[in-house]
Structure 1
Amino acid sequence: MKPWMMGVAFAALGMADASGGSALQAQVAQADGWVAWQVPMVADAGAPSCFSWRRGRPAENGCDLDARDWNFGTDSKHPLHDSTLAVYAHVAKGRIDRVRAVASACRVESAGAIRRLDAVMPAQSVALLADWLADTDAARNDDDSALAALAYHADASATRAIATRAEPGHAGEEREQALFWLGQTRGVDGVDIVEHYARTDADPDVREKAVFALSQSHAGDPYARIRAISRSDRSGHVRSQALFWMAQMEDARALTDITAALAGETSDDVREQAVFALSQLKEGQAEDALTAVVRGDYPRETKKQALFWLGESGSPRAIQALDEVLAERTPAR
């Protein structure tokens, strides 16, 4: 996406009303302790909740707002069906110092009473969280939780608020988290923004993180976007990472595309990573791909790497392939 087009896209997404954020801030700051409100939750991104593991399976067990470590997740196999997000802000001495957000159906607990606010406008909620993240004087220690809370807001202004955190000038880790949530929860609009940074950012580390963020998305054919980066990025490391994530995405196009990249690459390091990417394909497909490399017209070092990963596989199919290759190269007595 061209820079001027990206600017238009950002503008179209809109920004939350700053005065609305201030009005909500005044309500929130009226008393210390936990205060909560609800807003519509973004669709198709799962319902965030707190889980524990029981016999190898996640079990929803409620969230302790007062816990020092805050972790949540979504369970795609046993989803919590909810369309409403509950946002929790902790106030100390009249200022927010912690933010939490989970699906409204998720049970929460706290040592103190939770004050509830009614009829909060989604844009106000976005504006409050965006202002809190932008406030360099705020006493906070969980920016990641606030960014995640923004990510699950259905309101379109949340996309722009998160995108602001991905802009150059912010710390690398903050940009990485913003790119992740844009790809994970913000649909095609978010993916477009992530792709913009994956293609154009001056920092190869940011481009690499943007490629990962694309790989975690399910909107706007992220595989095709990563494939294009694997063919064009000026950094061999970024191209290598693109090939790796292509293999992880379980896309039917990956075998052909990674094999083509291996044949066309001039970088020894990227070729090595392309062989590794082939080894990451699903069982059966990986062994066949590596065997084809061993038997194909590739540099000797590339063939050695394919043999190594065949050996590491240890699957019956890999062992059979190794036996066949050795038989082909062993002179008859």
Structure 2
Amino acid sequence: MNSLISIVIRTYNEERYLEELLQAIHSQNVGDLRYEVILVDSGSTDKTLEIARNFNCRIVNIKKSEFSFGRSLNIGCAAAQGDYLVFISGHCVPTNEFWLNNLVQPLISGDIALTYGRQVGGETTKFSEHLLFEKFYPSHSQIPQKDFFCNNANSALLKNIWKLYPFNEALTGLEDMYLGKQLVAAGMSIGYVAEAAVYHHHDEPWHVVRRRYEREAIALQEIMPEVQISFGDFLRYFLSGLLLDSSNALQQRKFLHRIGEIFMFRLMQFWGSYRGNHEHRQLSNKMKEIYFYPRKIANGSISQYKTPIISSEQTSQVMENKIS
């Protein structure tokens, strides 16, 4: 077999981990498979594009004003020449040289339409998020799985399926879950491949964490409108998460060092999810900047904009056999 895999990476100022990611890609043991790397960049001002050129990536640009997670992936998929599409975040790094082969093999076998791989916290990942990764991305595979949960930080899709079901470009996040729900409804299968693992690095200020969960909660209203979060639910989820993480930190003898971080992460996670679940509006260009490029907005300047989403974890909570 001499199949071509198209690896699509969405980037915006990803210089910190991009070189490590591309080095890991070029170190993959893929046998007789071939691959290309396509970078979909939305206006990076750091060394992202320089690094990409050094690794001979194909670079496709998207204007910041036109960006959405789904649209950037659709642009990358349209530019792809391969039969198999692989998506990986610009701040994820494969853990070993068999990541790519393991991720696409269920697609090649013909039994699965979409796969997603394991995610492990990196050295900058918050303590609570390490626990979330452990929960939603366990050490054992499930091929096929029973629900439509998936994540485009580390996933693969048949290009022929993408042509039938392109990513939703209107959503503020969770474009992967939206697609997953469509595929399952159409009788297709999703597979979780634990052997296709990546380190997922997150080093975000707190307002960015909150915005991330707000974005996802907005999108979740389109995917699962039946999910409602009351203020009482917010308090319950927050306190439960705080207690669970504190217990884990005590067991790992990290409580004093991590308690402040745990408090803030769970607060931002569930407050963002609560707000996102209760607000829905057409996004203005200014608000798109806030949601998709939050690092550029100072804390004080965004408080006037109320907006939101539920998190990957919260999303999962409402799904059988997955959720927190």
Q: What TM-score comes out, normalization by structure 2 length? A: 0.26
Q: What TM-score comes out, normalization by structure 1 length? A: 0.25
Larger relative contact order, structure 1 or 2 (CA cutoff 8 Å, min sep 6): 2
Select the structure that is richer in helix: 1
Is the radius of gyration larger for structure 1 or structure 2?
1
